[in-house]
């Protein structure tokens, strides 16, 4: 099941979403309007998802930590010109995917490890 988030609620939703999903493994899948799909090779553990206004542009900033070694490098992705935010739920009701659509109609899907089977 997918639920679109109203733009007026984006900032508060992302703040609460970050708290609920902190430290969960996640990776991006990108779906371009052309039909091309790209899956991110590396996972990161979610640190924070936030909303930023840069002039007339709305940005979503996603911070994840690579815990595959002792360095714990932070990966920061900034998605510009955001036009839509939605969340998909797992069968147990947990949040499974955060969907962000930009002004080019590109869908960036942040897929989380499943709380049911551990897959992401």
Q: How far apart are CA 43 and CA 15, in angstroms?
A: 21
Q: Tell me, what CATH number does 24's domain have?
A: 2.70.180
- Rg for the chain (alpha carbons), in Å? 14
Residue 45 lies inside a defined structural domain of this protein: yes
Q: How many residues in total does the chain contain?
A: 120
Number of domains making up the chain: 1
Over the stretch 49-99, which tens digit does the pLDDT of each residue have? 999 998 899 999 999 999 888 888 999 999 999 999 999 999 989 999 999
Predicted structure pTM score: 0.91
Domain that holds residue 11: 2-112
Q: What is the pLDDT of residue 68?
A: 84
Query: Does residue 118 form part of some domain?
Result: no
What local confidence, expressed as pLDDT, does residue 115 receive?
72
């Amino acid at each position: 099941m997918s639920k679109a988030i109203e733009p007026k609620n984006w900032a508060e939703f992302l703040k609460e979403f970050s708290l609920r999903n902190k430290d969960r493994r996640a990776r991006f899948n990108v779906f371009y309007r052309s039909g091309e799909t790209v899956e991110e090779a590396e996972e990161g553990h979610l640190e924070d998802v936030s909303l930023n206004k840069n002039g007339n542009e709305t940005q979503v900033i996603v911070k994840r930590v690579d815990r595959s070694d002792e360095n714990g490098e932070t990966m920061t992705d900034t998605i510009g010109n955001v036009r839509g935010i939605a969340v998909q739920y797992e069968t147990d009701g947990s949040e499974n995917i955060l969907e962000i659509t930009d002004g080019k109609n590109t869908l960036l899907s942040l897929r989380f490890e499943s709380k049911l089977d551990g897959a992401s």
